[in-house]
């Protein structure tokens, strides 16, 4: 078994209302920053033991799809690195 760290980034799909990002974008624009768009995201770091990178990715994907992200509303990215 090896130790891995997975990073999962979960964000709302394009077209889904993101009130947190809208509020932040308006505040940044009031401060003088020009933005095309802004979206919020949640990031999770997961440390786990697995036989190999593929196994770690498979386990983290299952965790993400069962709890961390709602596939109807969210897109997600997963990266896995061996420690």
Instruction: Work out how many domains the chain is built from and give that number.
Output: 1
Mean pLDDT of the chain: 97
CATH number for the domain that contains residue 41: 3.30.1280.10
pLDDT tens string 36-57: 999 999 999 999 999 999 999 9
- The pLDDT value given to residue 59: 98
- From residue 63, how far is each of 19, 27, 44 by CA, in Å? 26, 34, 11
pLDDT tens string 53-75: 999 999 999 999 999 999 999 99
Question: If you write DSSP's letter for every residue of 36-70 in order, what string do you get?
Answer: S----EEEEEEEEEESSHHHHHHHHHHHIIIII--
- The pLDDT value given to residue 1: 86
Please enumerate, as own/partner, the contacts of 60-65 that have beta carbons within 8 Å and a separation of 24 or more.
60/6, 60/8, 63/8, 64/8, 64/10
Domain extent for 41: 2-82
């Amino acid at each position: 078994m090896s130790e891995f760290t997975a990073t999962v980034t979960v964000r709302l799909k394009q077209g889904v209302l993101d009130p947190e990002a809208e509020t932040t974008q308006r505040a940044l624009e009031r401060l003088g920053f020009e933005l095309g768009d802004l979206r919020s995201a949640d990031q999770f770091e997961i440390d786990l033991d697995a036989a190999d990178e593929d196994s770690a990715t498979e386990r983290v994907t299952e965790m993400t799809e069962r709890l961390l992200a709602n596939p109807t509303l969210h897109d997600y990215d997963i990266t896995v690195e061996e420690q």
